[in-house]
Amino acid sequence: MIKKIINWLMPKKRKMEENAAMTVNFLEMLAMTKEDEHSCADVYELLDQFVELKVRGADVDKLMPKVKHHLDMCKDCFEEYESLMAALEFEAEN
């Protein structure tokens, strides 16, 4: 009987956890949302410059805060940033 009740409750618990995760995800994004944000195209234009400055050790968060903010918000652009960093690091070492 107890097992039956647990089995009945588990999917509901799982659903509740997923809804909580989704809500937290949304709220975290809303907390980071700004009125004026760079678009993907804006960031693409500046990404090579941003990554070169970063590799040279410049404080890019201060120099190009809107690029940094977009990279925190956009997974696609962040992956391209990481790849470009890997390319320049490899180039510097070889």
Partner 1 sequence: MQNTRDNDTWLEDLRAEGAKKEAALEDLHKILLRILPAALSRWLPSSSSHFETFIEDTAQETTLRVIDKLDTFQGRSKFTTWVYKIGVNIGLGQLRLKKWKEVSLDKLEEGNEPDEMPSERFAADAPNPEGMLERKNVIEMVQSVMKEELTPRQHQVMMAVAVQGTPLNVVAERIGSNRNALYKLIHDARLRLKRRLEREGLSPAELLAVFSE
Binding site for partner 1 (CB under 8 A): 13-14, 16-31, 33, 35, 37, 39-41, 44, 46-49, 51-52, 74-76, 79-80, 82-84, 86-91, 94
Minimum CB distance to partner 1 smaller for 15 or for 61: 15
Residue for token pair 């588990």: 10
Q: Cα 56–94–46 angle (5° rounding)?
A: 40
Residues in the chain: 94
| Rounded least distance, CB 5 to partner 1, Å | 17
In Å, what is the CA distance from 88 to each residue of 30, 85, 93, 94? 33, 5, 9, 10
Question: Greatest CA span in the chain, whole angstroms?
Answer: 66
Q: Smallest distance from the beta carbon of 1 to partner 1, in angstroms?
A: 22
Find the shortest distance in angstroms from Cβ 11 to partner 1.
12
- Which residue, 6 or 40, has its beta carbon nearer to partner 1? 40
Q: Which helix (H) or strand (E) holds 88?
A: helix 75-93
CB-nearer residue toward partner 1: 6 or 16: 16
